[in-house]
A and B are shown apart, each in its own frame.
Chain A
Amino acid sequence: MATKASRSAARIMMAPAVVLLLGWMLVPLILTLWFSFTKYLPMRGDSIERGLDWVGFDNYARFLSSSAFWPSVQTTLVMVGGVLIITLVFGILLAMLLDQPIWGQGIVRILVIAPFFVMPTVSALVWKNMMMDPVNGIFSHLWRFFGAEPIAWLQDASLTSIIMIASWQWLPFATLILLTAIQSLDSEQLEAAEIDGASPLSRFFYIVLPHLGRAITIVTLIQTIFLLSIFAEIFVTTGGAFGTRTLTFLIFQRVIDSQNIGLGSAGGVYAIILANIVAIFLMRIVGKNLD
């Protein structure tokens, strides 16, 4: 509660942030919406100055019916789902492990978290060359060591490779958040359950996992939003080839490579809608936490 004076001061102080973000949101959004209803091929001479032809929902329909669309949706789902499952399962295990008393805990934590701070282009290139190179990569050395034929990861198992790279990048995030959540679990609860005769497994399923529920949901939602728009990892490894063209990358190609702005914008609107569906759930949880 406060006075009128401080309330009007508050409005003024909030204005720059609100106005900037409003502009940042609305201007491109409106342009994208507009383009998505027009034929806009700059390479063939279309331009805003000369006026764009209104084509209604043509772009939306064409984007959906293009042969690349469904595969890209499938790729996106497999990639997001795969990364989520890997990071959550290993994240929970790792968080529980790091919650135990161990020597050098601080250093282990740092080792585990480090990948998060590696910029996406670097992680993609390091994995592509140092790890996954079919001749000189560490994996090929390992494979040969065990007498197996090395794999050309980014060609023959391209989507798996991308999932591995993204999981490596996001595992620290999941682990860190789940670890924070585990540490907030009252150890007396576990002790009480132990006295009540609960086995380690049932302690995990009846106490630890429910306690982590919120954190798991949040990790899922935040990662989904970021994973849906993964870009650099694909850009510098496969360039979208070999079945790694996600929805985001498809839109990117429509806009930049084929310079079909109308079509790309329609795709963009789909992507925005998709992200917003996820975002609504996230907002709900975050919002509840605000009260």
Chain B
Amino acid sequence: MARMTSTRRKIITTAVAWAIGLVIFFPIFWTILTSFKTEAQAINDPPLFFNFDWTLENYISVQERSDYLRFLWNSVAIAGGSTLLGTLIAIPAAWSMAFVPSVRTKDILLWMLSTKMLPAVGVLYPISLIFVQFNLLDTKLGLIVVLMLINLPIIVWMLYTYFREIPGEILEAARMDGAKLRQELFYVLTPMAIPGIASTLLLNFILAWNEAFWTLNLTAAKAAPLTAFIASYSSPEGLFFAKLSAASTMAIAPILILGWFSQKQLVRGLTFGAVK
């Protein structure tokens, strides 16, 4: 609001907002903190905040116990691969819809979104069958394809909204200047849309990273990403809070950092441009 607010009021709102923010963030904070405790300290009564001996042993034992790095690599490969593949397929499609719209464009876009609404559990068995048939079960390739298909509507949609902001005259100018379609996309559209494409990549990387239905149901050991890695900690083996915390921290840290850069795109990507 444009009006001047009294300092007193600002102090109160600041205090309230920070308090709520900290409460919401607390589970994450507590997990990170616990990951540096010993197992005994982790379940100390009363809970220890900063007065404990910081240790990295949990991180080491998590890596030794369940080979974190392999899961990390699977997550990176699956999320990255599906996002890149999806973007490559989506750029031409979004170009078509943004710059050569037809009467059907709107219907196609909405239909694409509707595929995103399909409840996964409804098609779990058929997909598993297809995976078995093509030997895709527990492979990175299989998950890359599935996650690409899941996120493709969002990728197309996001790129479409970004492309629509680029004036068509510039592409026409390129055409007048002798650019072929391929050159028009490569030299003119893509560089102009870099910020939008980057946001799209980022958000979809995050979505693919956190996807936890297909990654749990279609992998076993070889291709399992971090979602499955963490799920393996759901059956407790004695005292394990500190190790669980270390594993959790390792699973979410990369994406928390990326996520902080993607707040704005989040709104755009997840509401299909309906809230700006």
Do the beta carbons of B90 and A117 come within 8 Å of each other? no
Q: Is A68 an interface residue (CB 8 A)?
A: no
Q: Assess the B24–A283 pair: CB atoms within 8 A.
A: no
B149 touches A218 (CB 8 A): no
Given contacts A268-B122, A271-B119, contact A187 B1 (CB under 8 A): yes
A255 to B122, CA, bound (A): 10
Would A218 and B27 be within 8 Å (CB), given that A228-B119, A232-B231 are in contact? no
- A120 in contact (CB, < 8 A): yes
Across the interface, name the chain B residue whose C-beta is closest to A236.
B234
State whether A112 and B99 are in contact (beta carbons under 8 Å apart), knowing that A27-B130, A126-B248 are contacts in the complex. no
Contact A32 B108 (CB under 8 A): no
A252 / chain B contacts, CB cutoff of 8 Å:
121, 124
- Please, which residue of chain B has its CB at the minimum distance from the CB of A120? B212
Q: Is the CB of A289 within 8 A of B274?
A: yes
Q: B276 contacts the other chain (Cβ, under 8 Å)?
A: yes
- Does B22 reach chain A (CB closer than 8 Å)? yes
| Assembly CA distance A248 to B120 (angstroms) | 9
Interface residue count on the B side (C-beta < 8 Å): 98
- A16 adjacent to chain B (CB < 8 Å): yes
B252 partner, pick from A11, A118, A190, A237, beta carbons under 8 A: A118
The residue of chain B having its C-beta at the shortest distance from the C-beta of A119 within the complex is B210
Scan residues 109-164 of chain A and give those whose CB is less than 8 A from a CB of chain B.
109-131, 135-136, 138, 141, 145
A285 at the interface (CB under 8 A from B): yes
Q: Which of B21, B118, B126 contacts A111 (CB 8 A)?
A: B21
In whole angstroms, what is the CA distance A113 to B261 when docked? 11
Knowing A32-B122, A120-B227 are in contact, say whether A98-B212 is a contact too (CB < 8 A).
Answer: no
**B10 at interface (Cβ–Cβ under 8 A)?**
yes
Q: Is the CB of A94 within 8 A of B244?
A: no
Taking CB atoms, residues of chain B closer than 8 Å to A141 are: 45-47
Residues of A within 8 A of B251 (CB): 119, 121-122
Taken together as a complex, chains A and B put the C-alpha atoms of A207 and B92 apart, in Å, by 42
Cβ–Cβ contact A11 & B96, under 8 A: yes
Asked if A181 CB lies within 8 Å of chain B CBs, one says yes
User: Residues of A contacting B118 with CB < 8 Å?
Assistant: 25, 29, 272, 275
Query: CB distance A125 to B234 under 8 Å?
Result: yes
Q: Mark B213-250, 1 if CB is under 8 A from A, else 0.
A: 10011000000001110110110100001001100100
| Beta-carbon contact of A235 and B31 below 8 Å | no
Max chain A C-beta neighbours (<10 A), residue from B95, B122, B226, B275: B122
**Once bound together, how far apart are the Cα atoms of A24 and B145, in whole Å?**
10
Q: Is A35 an interface residue (CB 8 A)?
A: yes
Which one of A130, A176, A255 has the highest number of Cβ atoms from chain B below 10 Å of its Cβ? Answer: A130
- Asked if A214 is at the interface of the complex by the 8 Å CB criterion, the answer is yes
Closest CB in chain B relative to A184 CB, distance in Å: 7
Query: Which residues from chain B contact A35 at a C-beta distance below 8 Å?
Result: 125-126
A118 touches B28 (CB 8 A): yes
Q: How far is the CB of A276 from chain B (nearest CB, A)?
A: 7
Contact A272 B119 (CB under 8 A): yes
The reply to whether the CB of B156 lies closer than 8 angstroms to some CB of chain A is yes
Q: Say if the beta carbon of A13 comes within 8 Å of chain B.
A: yes
User: What would 13 more interface pairs be, CB under 8 Å, given A115-B25, A121-B216, A177-B267?
Assistant: A9-B100, A14-B96, A14-B97, A27-B130, A112-B25, A116-B266, A119-B252, A122-B230, A126-B28, A136-B43, A172-B24, A231-B120, A251-B124
